[in-house]
Amino acid sequence: MTKTQTGGFTRRGILGAFAATAVAAAPTYSNAAGFLRGSGDIRRLRMYSGRTGERIDMIYWIEGDYLADAMKEINHFMRDWRTNDVKRIDTRTIDIMAAAHNLMDVTEPYMLISGYRSPRTNAMLRSRSSGVAKNSRHLKGQAADLRLGSRSVSQMARAAQSCGGGGVGRYSRSNFVHMDCGPVRSWGR
């Protein structure tokens, strides 16, 4: 492939700049559910867990209704893998995850780093790292830590932030993004 240069710009450079800003230029919505409303009558979630080896690829919402069996599977999938404790995952968090995934236009499933955390697991993680909140939204089933191999932490965070639906944390050194349905806020690099 050859570079085509015109007036100091290369074709590859222009395409790279466009790709880098495509997610940042996505429209801002008041919340993830609002964004998903325009995407048809279904909502889908794709994830895998490096910890358990499990995978899910499922439609969890059809024509205005969350599917009880699908939500039960998502709750189990996002359980605390250390203790096997299951908690109902807040649908707002699931909607933010699905909306951000749609914005990034990827088919690759998220890698789930952490979903629900039991108090025991959260306390153990907190004793090892100052980055773990005492009253983490993970304890309430309102947060997920996610990774995509094909997207950077910055791209994922911009997609989640553009949903305007909750908290977004960038953890570049650990290569994951935190998404939750709490107040709109962001942190990290």
pLDDT in tens, 88-120: 999 999 999 999 999 999 999 999 999 999 999
* Angle (CA) 19 25 28, round 5°: 145
Q: Within 13 Å of residue 106, how many CA atoms lie on the same side as its CB?
A: 23
**Helix axis angle, 153-162 relative to 91-104, nearest 10°?**
120
* CB neighbour list of residue 185: distance below 8 Å, 6 or more residues apart: 167, 168
- How does pLDDT run across 135-187, given as a tens digit for each residue? 899 999 999 999 999 999 999 999 999 999 999 999 999 999 999 999 999 99
The full set of domains in the chain, from first to last, is 28-188 (3.30.1380.10)
Q: Which residues contact 37 (CB under 8 A, 6 or more apart)?
A: none
pTM: 0.78
